[in-house]
Amino acid sequence: MNTWPELSQIALPTPVKKALIKHLTEPFQTEAEAKDFWQENSVQLVLSESPIDAVLEYTDPLIEGYTISLLILSDAGEGVYYLTPGEPK
């Protein structure tokens, strides 16, 4: 997904969707500001494990066993968020 992830577009449990949006908006004053940043800087969201050889900025637990990792691709802010599902219980 290479646009801001609208809740209706994400095939995830509702609590995970809400936690994801909360996480993605934390560095910004408003959701609109976050959306603008995504559009201007080619930020992407991938539902997958991060590449094994990637040097990640961070990996944080999200909710319900999901983790979110960020791979920065440029000084301009271009990056890829990897949303990884946890092991089924």
Tens digit of pLDDT for each residue in 1-43? 566 777 677 888 999 999 999 999 999 999 899 989 888 888 8
Amino acid at 51: P
pLDDT at residue 1, as a whole number: 58
Instruction: Say which residue, 52 or 88, is predicted with more confidence.
Output: 52
Interhelix angle 31-41/14-25, rounded to 10 degrees, is 80
Distance CA(62)–CA(16), nearest Å, equals 8
Question: Residue 84: is its pLDDT beyond 90?
Answer: yes
Confidence band, pLDDT 50/70/90 cuts, at residue 89: very low
- Residue 78 contacts residue 39 (beta carbons within 8 Å): no
Question: Which residues, including other chains, have CB under 8 Å from residue 46's CB and lie 6 or more apart?
Answer: 1, 80, 81, 82, 83
Query: β-pairing, 44-47 with 79-84?
Result: parallel
DSSP-based helix, strand, coil % in the chain, nearest 5: 30, 20, 50
pTM: 0.85
